[in-house]
Amino acid sequence: MKLGARGGVKDVDSFVDKLRTEGQEVGGSPSRKVGDTSRSTGAPPPPPLEGVQVVIEEKLNAKVSRDSGFISMDVLGNLTIRISQEEYSDCIVALRPGAAPGAPEPSFQSHPNIDKTEFSSRSQLRHKNPARSFPVGVDIGVLRWHYSGTEESALPLAVTVWPQLEGRNVTVSADFQLNSPASELLDLSIAIPLPVGAERPTVLQGSEVDVSRKQLRWTAPLVNREEPSGNLEFTVPHCSDEAGFFPVSVSFSGRQSYCGVVVDSVRNKNGDPIKFSTETSLRVENFTYEN
């Protein structure tokens, strides 16, 4: 039986239903006909896909203690594929073997329909049943991974926020530092709360700062090898609450896999190359520095 074959919508639906019962995220509708505009929203059509589209998504959660330096960090990743045409439904997705330089080594879990021997020995994602293939026109989750860290050096970015009581004022010195020179982070935001009832702070050093009544937000559009660090200093008059500047919330995004997951090639069962596109994203769910 070949999943995704013409006239085999029931087979495709059966495969997709199985994925859903196993907790996989599956998008799209294989049974919707081409040209069906009954649910059109007026938005422009998406750009044409390559033969196979691969989407790599990672979510980061981290909590760091200001005093002890203890850290709990988790990264969850997911790889999905979308096949545009039936002729590519027997595709084999090969990942780049070995972790990228400086990248951690996560624990991987492949979908039950993926050949585990091929993945563990050759980093290839292929259907375990040679007589079957993947459905067409739906997003299929085929690989998950998880990484846990306990060292601050494992974070993509290290942040220091240091309040210091000076007479009747508190001066706060802060900095950030990219931990991996190969990384590139976008839209960095560091939100430092202000103590209850605090007066408006005066920024002594730093740019891209937005101050409200409750917090000071420090941003940087790009953090990379050329711009790996930043410094900030501000003072709050008539304040003695050093603990009131925590927890500090950090957010950013990226277009690289933190765990170094990269697609090397996509081929069919005969070894012929298939054109493919890759979309990779890293985003922060929750990242805080606690007092």
pLDDT digits (tens, 9 = 90+) for 184-231: 999 999 999 999 999 999 999 998 999 998 999 999 999 999 999 999
Work out the number of other CB atoms within 10 angstroms of the CB of residue 105.
11
Q: 163 near 172, Cβ under 8 Å?
A: yes
Residue 35: left if φ>0, alpha if ψ -120 to 50, beta else—which one?
left
Q: Which pTM does this prediction carry?
A: 0.80
The whole-angstrom separation of Cα 73 and Cα 288 is 10
Instruction: Give me the amino acid identity at 133.
Output: S
The whole-angstrom separation of Cα 72 and Cα 75 is 10
pLDDT digits (tens, 9 = 90+) for 260-282: 999 999 999 999 999 999 999 99
